Amino acid sequence: MTGSVLLMNFQLPLKDPIPIFSLVLFIILLAPIILRKFRIPSIIGLILAGMAIGDHGFHIIEKGSIDLFGKAGLLYIMFLAGLELDMTEFRKNRHRSLVFGAFTFFLPLILGYLVCTYFLHFNFMASLLVSSMFATHTLVAYPLASRLGITKNEAVTVAVGAIITDTAVLLILAVITGAQQGNLNTAFWIRLSVSVVVFAAIILWVFPMIGRWFFKKIKDDKTSHFIFVLALVFLGAFLAELAGVEGIIGAFLAGLALNQLIPHTSSLMNRVEFVGNALFIPFFLISVGMIVDLRVLLKGPDALIIAGVLTTIALFSKWLAAFFTQLSFKYTPAQRNVIFGLSSSHAAATIAVILIGYNMGIIDEHVLNGTVILILVTCMVGSFVTQNAGRKLALVEAEKMPEMPAGPERTLIPVANFDKLEPLLDFSMLMRSPGQPSPIHPLVVVKDDEEAKEKIFLSNKLMEKALVSAAATEANIKLVARVDLNVPDGISRSVKEIGISDVVMAWSDKNTTTDRLFGTLFGTTMENVLQVVWETTYICRFLYPLNTSRRLILMLPQNAEYELGFAHYMQKMMLLSRQVGARLQVYCSNSTKDAVHELMQRNKSSMEIAFHAFEQMEDFLVLARSISRDDLLVVVSARKGTLSYSAYMENLPAKLEKHFKNSNLLLIYPEQTELEINEPGVQAQDLTLTPIQEQLTNLNRIGKVVKRIFRNPPQEQ
């Protein structure tokens, strides 16, 4: 009896979800591995596997069995395209996306209409429907571009930005449907216009507000963060369908709306990409393959002729659009081919347009079958072209990368309170330069006494527990525990031994005692740390997650550009601004502004920065009224005796804490050269200097620093 039940469950096509899911997972696992040996893109392997197991292949699985995951995968591709879009580059090149969007919409539409009317002899409605299908494109090859690391290239940004043209195609479909049903009246146009505007406003305006509120209220529940993001993706798709356009447009706009709330190096971004690439997107690619029916090629010459004509026009018109875009903006052949590869694949919107036309009797079976062949060929061509051109573009991009610092970036996070470790880790990962392999070093310093061994053991246990969330980012984390006479000396020795470039510390707490279990870094101890640690030091007070920041307000003192660490921390702040999606506003003097512009030119940065005049350090209190809880205030201070130091910087942390109680704060002490600032013997002797001698001594110090700057200009550091 049991055997007969098992045989019933394993009859083809499979009905039981367990063997269906098991089979699909093995396909997702093995298809890319096998085809990689033949240098065939993994996307093609999944599409071919879908053809083999689908209704038109060996009929092992019915397409309806995986429709849910397939639809989710398509929405996920569109969502990731919007989420990974570099908004700085997108805003800068939005007119280029519009130009390419016009080319990739009107050229296929016009060419397709002429061919369908005068060569295939379709009627007006059929010609308009089929030609609008040519104007669509699905970012099937986008995962390849993401894997090659070229998503921030201008060509990819332009191609992804033009996906909004699918909206125009689907609006044409809505008009054709309305005309076919006889509902093309004034009420139809009003209803369509209002619904599209309301839907777009909700996603682009309300979604970011809800997201910022949610991330502030629910800070530590990473699972809830992922579910929240997933829910907004499908809600956006549902709202799009309510508005009369395809759900993929809603998913893409949801990605744009959440773009600035999900930093690319965060654990949440890692989870979103992992789930999509491992599960949802492969299901979609398999479902695309299950649509294809190669038997249509055997149904006579009409099917072959229509399939050949449709496929040729689809590919040629998309290549023509990429070619005209290349001529317009002087792109390289590799960039042109990447644009063509990303925009040439037809899948979701294409099949939606054709199926609706077929069900309404506008087109016949030959056009439907020809479109299925078109989908197969364009997906393969788009994948091959994107992979080959993307590799060339990746090599060019690597050569254009700004010069890396002379030494590796190594970050040290001294820990006194394990509850504050996670935001410090998040901050450290957000400001790390791309491609930095060196680890982040959380450090615990314990005093050398009888209980030192027990304290080290306990600190390691607490540290491992605090680092669980950091593991989700796949960041390289190395724990450091040190026994020393006091905390500042322990930090100083660790900085020298490991070769640290950046020290990240938590903000002072006035009520912190100086002799807790693991020592403290606050109050006078923090000042002692700054006297023995000369690398760039960041003092952090984060009341809210950094990804909820709307603006990054950076305040630079006079002569900031003459400090050794100026270029280093400026690059970090520009990177942080891009990562969290916060607009960078810099308050500085005119000479510092010129130095920032020079630094941006040297690093080939296209970032938009708003500059404001700021001459005196005392004036920063004027900003207190304009700083909100959604802003990150960054103040650059200086150690005593340096060029940018002023008397007002004395006790600066307390002043900031008093006047900016509800804002995220970051205080930066730039890198200095110890030997040239603290001259050996001068501070150790009990000398009484006259005012003139004191001024001469200060001038001598300044002269040495200026000489060092001219000997070793910032470009060579």
Asked if 412 and 536 touch (Cβ cutoff 8 Å), the reply is no
In single-letter form, the type of residue at position 378 comes to: T
Q: State the sign of the Cα–Cα–Cα–Cα dihedral 129, 135, 141, 143.
A: negative
In single-letter form, the type of residue at position 530 comes to: L
Q: Please report, for residues 561, 600, 636, the alpha-carbon distance to residue 709 in angstroms, rounded to integers and kept in the order given.
A: 10, 19, 19
Range 404-410 average pLDDT: 63
The answer for residues whose C-beta is within 8 angstroms of residue 576's C-beta and 6 or more apart is 427, 430, 431, 546, 552, 582
**Mean pLDDT, rounded, of the chain:** 78
The answer for residues whose C-beta is within 8 angstroms of residue 686's C-beta and 6 or more apart is none
Closest CA to 159 of 295, 352, 321, 34: 321
CB burial readout 455-469, b (16+ within 10 A) else e: bbeebeebbeebbee
CB burial readout 628-658, b (16+ within 10 A) else e: eeebbbbbbbbbebbbbbeeebeebbebbbe
Range 317-346 average pLDDT: 91
pLDDT band at residue 692 under the 50/70/90 scheme: very low
Q: Which residue has the tokens 């960054």?
A: 634
Judge if the upstream peptide bond of residue 13 is cis by omega within 30 degrees of 0.
yes
Q: Please report, for residues 236, 267, 465, 591, the alpha-carbon distance to residue 468 in angstroms, rounded to integers and kept in the order given.
A: 32, 11, 6, 45
Range 107-126 average pLDDT: 90
pLDDT value for 154: 84
Range 562-590 average pLDDT: 88
Strand 411-414 relative to strand 631-636, pairing:
unpaired
Residue 316 to residue 108: CA distance in whole angstroms: 8
Tokens standing for residue 555 = 């305040």
Range 157-183 average pLDDT: 75
For the chain, domains (ranges, CATH) are 66-400 (1.20.1530.20), 411-439+494-716 (3.40.50.620)
Q: What percent of the chain has pLDDT over 70?
A: 80
Q: Which residue has the tokens 């479902």?
A: 287
CA 647 to chain centre: 41
Tokens standing for residue 352 = 């939606």
Q: Please report, for residues 132, 379, 444, the alpha-carbon distance to residue 137 in angstroms, rounded to integers and kept in the order given.
A: 11, 10, 53
Asked if 612 and 587 touch (Cβ cutoff 8 Å), the reply is yes
Residue 341 to residue 348: CA distance in whole angstroms: 16
440-447 β-sheet, strand order: 480-484, 440-447, 411-414, 502-506, 536-541, 664-669, 631-636, 551-555, 583-588, 609-613
Residue 653 — φ and ψ, nearest 5°? -55, -40
For every residue of 244-288, DSSP letters joined together read: TS-HHHHHHHHHHHHGGGS-TTSHHHHHHHHHIIIIIHHHHHHHH
- Highest mean pLDDT: which range of 73-82, 522-531, 550-559: 550-559
pLDDT value for 365: 74
The answer for residues whose C-beta is within 8 angstroms of residue 107's C-beta and 6 or more apart is 317, 320, 321, 324
pLDDT of 270 strictly over 90: no
Residue 529 to residue 522: CA distance in whole angstroms: 9
- Using alpha carbons only, how large is the chain's radius of gyration in Å? 30
CB burial readout 416-452, b (16+ within 10 A) else e: bbbebbbbbbbbbbbbbeeebebbbbbbbbbbeeeee
Closest CA to 234 of 98, 417, 116, 68: 68
Range 22-45 average pLDDT: 81
Range 259-287 average pLDDT: 84
pLDDT band at residue 353 under the 50/70/90 scheme: confident
Closest CA to 246 of 63, 43, 74, 70: 74
pLDDT of 519 strictly over 80: no
pLDDT value for 666: 92
Give tens-digit pLDDT for 188-201.
788 878 888 898 89
Give tens-digit pLDDT for 552-568.
999 998 888 888 889 99
Tokens standing for residue 205 = 């305006």
Return the higher-pLDDT residue of 300 and 320. 320
For residue 555, the cross-strand partners are 587, 635
DSSP code of 441?
Answer: E
pLDDT value for 469: 58
The number of C-alpha atoms within 13 Å of 380 and in the hemisphere containing its C-beta is 13
CB burial readout 272-304, b (16+ within 10 A) else e: bbeebbebbbbbbbbbbbbbbbeebeeeeeebb
Q: Is 501 exposed, middle or buried (0-12, 13-18, 19+ CB in 10 A)?
A: buried
Range 677-706 average pLDDT: 42
- Out of 105-114, 476-485, 492-501, 590-599, least confident range: 476-485
- Out of 241-250, 327-336, 483-492, 540-549, least confident range: 241-250
Range 243-255 average pLDDT: 80
Tokens standing for residue 393 = 């573009």
Return the higher-pLDDT residue of 438 and 309. 309
The answer for residues whose C-beta is within 8 angstroms of residue 31's C-beta and 6 or more apart is 42, 45, 46, 48, 49
pLDDT value for 205: 92
In single-letter form, the type of residue at position 444 comes to: V
Q: What percent of the chain has pLDDT over 90?
A: 13
pLDDT of 690 strictly over 50: no
* 493-406-434 Cα angle (round to 5): 95
For residue 502, the cross-strand partners are 411, 536
Return the higher-pLDDT residue of 355 and 647. 647
For residue 447, the cross-strand partners are 484
Find the DSSP H helices in 281-364. 281-291, 301-329, 333-344, 348-359
Q: Is 125 exposed, middle or buried (0-12, 13-18, 19+ CB in 10 A)?
A: middle
Residue 228 to residue 549: CA distance in whole angstroms: 19
Range 391-399 average pLDDT: 78
pLDDT of 206 strictly over 90: yes
Neighbours of 505 (CB within 10 A): 25
pLDDT value for 352: 66
Residue 271 to residue 264: CA distance in whole angstroms: 11
Range 331-339 average pLDDT: 91
Question: What is the H or E stretch that residue 636 is in?
Answer: strand 631-636
pLDDT of 636 strictly over 60: yes
pLDDT of 711 strictly over 50: no
Residue 128 to residue 173: CA distance in whole angstroms: 9
